[in-house]
Amino acid sequence: MLDIKLIREKPDFVRQRLATRGVGDEKLIDGILQADEQRRKALAEVESLKATRNRVSKEIGALMGQKKLAEAEAKKAETKNLGDQISSLDKQAADAEAERDKLMLQMPNLPHESVVQGKSAEDNPIVRTHGEKANFTFKPKSHVEL
């Protein structure tokens, strides 16, 4: 599986390398980036809400020490509401992460820059050979016939 940082930082490079495969896999990049952005936004919002909840929780402790029970109860209701929002956003982040990972598993590896773009094996260049090709006076059997 490709690194999400590579896809996030160099999406055009990844699209270009996948386009050399000629299969159309480069369309997956948009879905991956969208799911990743949703996940990152949800996580940022969760962190912000957790910081707010922690601040409000400290205020509750201070209010309880000052015997301001009515205000403390209002703050407790606020923390419960924040907790519900955090749970909802955590689920959204998990769903977006699952979608992103599902799409990333469908994406093939990137071909190396030296790979020639071609439709069949005939388009592949011969890079090197070892020895000479044997010339038989008879028709050799295939490996299945042997």
What pLDDT score was predicted for residue 120? 76
The model carries a pTM of 0.74
Q: What is the pLDDT of residue 65?
A: 86
| 39-86: pLDDT as tens digits | 999 999 999 999 999 999 999 888 888 888 888 888 899 999 999 999
User: 12 vs 121, which has greater pLDDT?
Assistant: 12
DSSP codes joined into one string, the chain: ---HHHHHH-HHHHHHHHHTTTS-GGGHHHHHHHHHHHHHHHHHHHHHHHHHHHHHHHHHHHHHHTT-HHHHHHHHHHHHHHHHHHHHHHHHHHHHHHHHHHHHHHSPPPPPTTPPP-SSGGGSPP----S-----SSPPPPTTT-
Task: State both tokens at 37.
Answer: 């952005």
**pLDDT value of position 82:** 94
